[in-house]
Amino acid sequence: MSQPPPIPNLTALGLAAERPLVLIDVDEVLGLFMQGFGDFVAQHGYEMRVERFALFQNIYPPGSDQHIDMETGRRLFDAFFATHCHEIEPAPGAIAALNRLHRHAEILILSNAPPQGEKLRAAWLAKHGMEHPLVLNSGPKGPIAKGLVAQTLHPTAFVDDLLPNLDSVAEHCPETATFQHVADLRLRPFAPRSDRHPRIDDWAELGEALEAAVRR
């Protein structure tokens, strides 16, 4: 049985353990992933029709009523992260909100992106002035979040669009404030909600809520 990857050290990442810590997702939180991925699949002859809170089930051959299969979707997904994931647009208001939040907390970008996208994703963050450490994860984010927030005695917060990741963090480190954000306007009506995690889709409002959470 494979061992889980080691938990990154905050100090080694250039973060101060003496400050609050905010963990933030990228796709559909800091960046408009569905829009960028839709542009990419269009270049490969497919259509993105946002009809549900899903990924591959929203991608169709032109004129077809049958979405693509998982194998085709995974191939497109891997190719996107290897070549085009740095071309997505930032979520409206995200950059300004992070700049304000960074006055009060350390920010770590925690993304479930495949390894081949790490360099391009880091370059995308730097290009848009979000030069915060990037850590890639796979699977539920609770275990890695637990190891990260254990390195500080100060308040912590976590933002993601996916309820499974939010639930995982809440279960592994219940002291961490969790917030849901869905950046794509088309996805918002389909995104499941939970009373466990405040849903704030406006970044100006979310930034204020995060600041309040870590300054409590």
Given a contact cutoff of 8 angstroms between Cβ atoms, the answer to whether 20 and 215 are in contact is yes
Would you call 14 exposed, middle or buried from its count of C-beta atoms within 10 A (0-12, 13-18, 19+)?
exposed
Structure tokens at 101: 């939040």
Give this prediction's pTM: 0.96
Domain spans, the chain: 21-32+89-214, 34-87
Given a contact cutoff of 8 angstroms between Cβ atoms, the answer to whether 135 and 13 are in contact is yes
Per-residue pLDDT of the chain (216 residues; tens, 9 = 90+): 446 678 999 999 999 999 999 999 999 999 999 999 999 999 999 999 999 999 999 999 999 999 999 999 999 999 999 999 999 999 999 999 999 999 999 999 999 999 999 999 999 999 999 999 999 999 999 999 999 999 999 999 999 999 999 999 999 999 999 999 999 999 999 999 999 999 999 999 999 999 999 987
The class that CATH gives domain 21-32+89-214 is alpha beta
